């Protein structure tokens, strides 16, 4: 008989699962599939979407069923100290059982991958009950679990559904009951010979993967799709008519700069707004919170509000109520908004240096368009309220010239291409005269926000400083959504690449582009258009960016599951967490970060080790994430099938 091969995507609610003849279909209930399968037939009796609907009382019952031994340890311990010691003893015994040939059959039968995941879950659970981590975070979740097990149900008030879900999946995980492996016992080696051709069986699985990817990709149109192009062209003509402009003016970046949209009235006259978007803009105007949108970028909006298709585009530039309230609160309190600690890493005004060989040169402190979640919102000015001091900039360049350790400069701001070619030439002349500089990066978002700024003259100017074998000059830009790659934007990239200059993309992973395979769709498109994916940033943990933030687990899930299915030439970016003052920590390297606590509100607390941890005893950074539970609930409210994200709990 043929061998049943299991697909990576089995267990998700939308997939039609292949079963051998005679195997019954999974039972279904009023809330979708009634169970998520685990290896060897064990099951959690609810699908992910159903779990999100359970009450705290129901979740607590599920928690105790997830590991009856832990429940007994908690219930039978007479003091919190005994409870901690007994639980550590149980977890240590559990890990030994995974690899002990004399252990119970259920542990010997675990697949090696299940054992790997189980050990990770044990490590995280141990971290949450360590006294040292309790001291760092100021919370004691073990005390809550202990008292709940002993019948003090009033403690449920201190435990959110998010916390209970974290514990449920940890309790299941330490036993190898992993929701993303379905009937793993039946999985056979890819290289075992059967009566079927194993190569054909494997190829069929890969076809399933590919078809699944294409299904998701179809949800995310690009600005190059004919239907979208027609819509965007109609929007441009509407905006041009509003301003009394023609094609020649529209394609002149100087006209775009003169007509930057900074008031709610103009936005509402040109595109529809949801109630929430309108309230955010009203609040921003009331408190003087600046927002800027180029006419070109506004044409990327779907004229109809609330469709969700252009969510990432709108969220870029429309400040929400939560953002405005948090920012106003911070401003009134006098809080330091320099979240990344750039003033602490600035040896001279205009320079930020976190690494040995490369630094940032802030050439200009405004942009044609302001990203709501910008890390430098504390120093970015409106375009008509900014000045450039060439004297200060020259002092910074002289400092670079005097330090031969610097090999690379990132020219940024603000956006240095907000200004004209004469200013760009002035900066490039002086940087190119520094013989120890091997690379000059121009950080600009104008290919996305104002592609008419990338003129043939500008590209010719920049390319003069690019010398093969001696000095690279390249562009670093910021695409967030496939909708941002339009024919105009593509033409700008083509002009740059035609002169032998590279273009790299730094994406920020926000709620608005975090749906299944959405970032992968962007990567694939960018690579086809001549833009190399470079970094994928976790959203900065500033209070005002709460609406944009995504659990670190989701970024790790995206990189491990979705990006991994793309060809290697496409997934060239690296997921990173930018540690304030210290710089980037690579998220795919577990040695650089660890979860030290799960708070009663469901948030994970991470300890990040700095990039130089192998060179010096630099201090770690403690970061409190957003709850996975709340993220999934938000996706659910927005119409996403949260069963597609069921493995998210096991990314640490």
**How many whole angstroms separate alpha carbon 49 and alpha carbon 646?**
9
Average pLDDT over residues 396-400: 97
The Cα-based distances of 511 to 454, 526, 634, 635 in angstroms read: 30, 20, 9, 9
Task: Choose the final residue of a domain: 212, 230, 254.
Answer: 212
Q: Count of CB atoms within 10 A of residue 99's CB?
A: 12
| Phi, psi for residue 29 in degrees, rounded to 5 | -130, -170
The boundaries of the domain holding residue 150 are 28-212
Handedness of CA 230, 235, 236, 242 (dihedral sign): positive
Task: Choose the final residue of a domain: 519, 550, 581.
Answer: 550
Structure tokens at 213: 């990817």
Task: Choose the final residue of a domain: 497, 517, 550.
Answer: 550
Does residue 641 lie in a domain region? no
At 45 the pLDDT is 63
Does residue 75 lie in a domain region? yes
What is the tally of structural domains in the chain?
2
Shortest CA distance to 384 belongs to which of 474, 479, 504, 263? 263
By mean pLDDT, which of 331-335, 378-382, 612-616 is the weakest?
378-382
Q: Is the CB of residue 431 less than 8 Å from the CB of residue 462?
A: no
Residue 20 burial (C-beta neighbours within 10 Å; 0-12, 13-18, 19+) = exposed
> Strand, helix or coil at 559?
helix
Structure confidence by residue, pLDDT tens digits, 462-501:
999 999 999 999 999 999 999 999 999 999 999 999 999 9
Q: Which DSSP helix (H) or strand (E) runs through 623? A: strand 621-624
Q: Count of CB atoms within 10 A of residue 64's CB?
A: 18
The Cα-based distances of 36 to 7, 119, 206 in angstroms read: 15, 21, 23
| CA neighbours closer than 13 Å in the CB half-sphere of residue 61 | 7
Does residue 116 lie in a domain region? yes
Does residue 623 lie in a domain region? no
Does residue 68 lie in a domain region? yes
Average pLDDT over residues 256-260: 96
Q: Count of CB atoms within 10 A of residue 614's CB?
A: 8
At 192 the pLDDT is 52
Asked whether residue 208 falls in the same domain as residue 351, the answer is: no
**How many whole angstroms separate alpha carbon 31 and alpha carbon 380?**
48
Q: 439 pairs with which residues across the strands?
A: 408, 472
Average pLDDT over residues 365-394: 82
**How many whole angstroms separate alpha carbon 234 and alpha carbon 244?**
15
pTM greater than 0.75 (yes/no) = yes
**How many whole angstroms separate alpha carbon 49 and alpha carbon 27?**
16
Confidence of residue 16 (pLDDT cuts 50, 70, 90): very low
Q: Which DSSP helix (H) or strand (E) runs through 29? A: strand 28-29
Does residue 56 lie in a domain region? yes
Does residue 541 lie in a domain region? yes
Structure confidence by residue, pLDDT tens digits, 547-603:
999 999 999 999 999 999 999 999 999 999 988 888 888 998 878 899 999 999 999
CATH number of domain containing 345: 3.20.20.70
At 591 the pLDDT is 82
**How many whole angstroms separate alpha carbon 410 and alpha carbon 496?**
17
Does residue 84 lie in a domain region? yes
């Amino acid at each position: 008989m043929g061998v049943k091969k299991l697909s990576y995507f089995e267990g998700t609610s939308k997939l039609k699962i292949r079963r051998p003849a005679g195997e019954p279909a999974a039972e279904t209930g009023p809330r979708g599939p009634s169970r998520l399968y685990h290896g060897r037939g064990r099951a959690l009796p609810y699908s992910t979407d159903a779990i999100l609907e359970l009450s705290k009382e129901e979740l607590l019952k599920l928690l105790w069923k997830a590991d009856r031994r832990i429940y007994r340890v908690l219930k039978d311990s007479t003091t919190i100290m005994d409870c901690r010691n007994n639980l550590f003893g149980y977890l240590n015994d559990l890990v030994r059982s995974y690899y002990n040939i004399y252990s119970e059959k259920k542990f010997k039968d675990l697949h090696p991958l299940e054992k790997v995941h189980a050990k990770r879950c044990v490590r995280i659970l141990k971290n949450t009950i360590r006294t040292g981590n309790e001291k760092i975070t100021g919370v004691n979740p073990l005390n809550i679990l202990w008292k709940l097990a002993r019948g003090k149900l009033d403690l449920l008030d201190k435990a959110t559904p998010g916390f209970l879900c974290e514990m449920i999946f940890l309790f299941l995980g330490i036993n190898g009951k992993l929701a993303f492996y379905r009937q793993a016992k039946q999985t056979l080696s890819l290289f075992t010979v059967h009566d079927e051709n194993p190569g054909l069986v494997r190829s069929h699985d890969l076809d399933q993967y590919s078809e699944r990817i294409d299904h998701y990709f179809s949800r995310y149109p690009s600005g190059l799709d004919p239907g979208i192009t027609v819509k965007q062209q109609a929007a441009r003509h509407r905006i041009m008519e509003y301003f009394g402009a023609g094609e020649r003016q529209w394609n002149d970046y100087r006209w775009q700069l003169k007509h930057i949209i900074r008031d709610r009235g103009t936005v509402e006259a040109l595109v529809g707004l949801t109630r929430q978007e309108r309230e955010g803009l009203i609040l921003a105007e009331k408190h003087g919170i600046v927002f800027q949108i180029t006419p070109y970028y506004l044409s990327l909006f779907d004229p109809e509000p609330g469709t969700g298709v252009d969510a990432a585009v709108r969220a870029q530039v429309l400040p929400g109520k939560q953002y405005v309230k948090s920012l106003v609160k911070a401003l009134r309190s006098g809080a330091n908004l320099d979240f990344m600690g750039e003033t602490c890493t600035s040896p001279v005004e205009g320079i930020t240096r976190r690494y040995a060989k490369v630094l940032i040169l802030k050439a200009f402190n405004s942009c044609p368009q302001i990203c709501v979640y910008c890390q430098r919102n504390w120093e970015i000015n409106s375009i008509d309220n900014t000045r450039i001091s060439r004297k200060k900039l020259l002092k910074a360049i002289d400092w670079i010239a005097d330090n031969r350790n610097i090999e690379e400069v990132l020219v940024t701001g603000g956006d240095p291409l907000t200004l004209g070619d004469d200013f760009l030439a002035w900066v490039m002349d002086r940087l190119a005269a520094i013989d120890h500089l091997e690379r000059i990066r121009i950080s600009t978002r104008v290919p996305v926000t104002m592609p008419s700024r990338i003129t043939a003259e500008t590209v010719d100017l920049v390319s003069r400083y690019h010398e093969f074998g001696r000095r690279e000059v390249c562009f670093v830009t910021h695409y967030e959504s496939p909708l941002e790659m339009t024919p105009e934007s593509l033409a700008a990239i083509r002009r740059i690449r035609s002169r032998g200059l590279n273009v790299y993309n730094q994406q920020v992973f926000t709620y608005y582009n975090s749906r299944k395979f959405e970032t992968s769709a962007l990567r694939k498109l960018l690579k086809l258009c001549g833009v190399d994916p470079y970094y994928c940033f976790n959203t900065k943990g500033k209070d005002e960016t709460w609406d944009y933030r995504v659990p670190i687990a989701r970024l790790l899930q995206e990189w491990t599951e979705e990006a991994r299915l793309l060809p290697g030439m496409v997934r060239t970016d690296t997921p990173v967490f930018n540690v304030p003052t210290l710089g980037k920590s690579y998220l795919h390297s577990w040695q650089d970060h660890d979860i030290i606590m799960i708070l009663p509100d469901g948030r994970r607390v991470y300890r990040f080790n700095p990039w130089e941890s192998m060179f010096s005893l630099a201090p770690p950074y403690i970061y409190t994430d957003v709850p996975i539970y709340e993220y999934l609930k938000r996706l659910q409210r927005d119409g996403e099938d949260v069963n597609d994200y069921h493995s998210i709990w096991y990314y640490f």
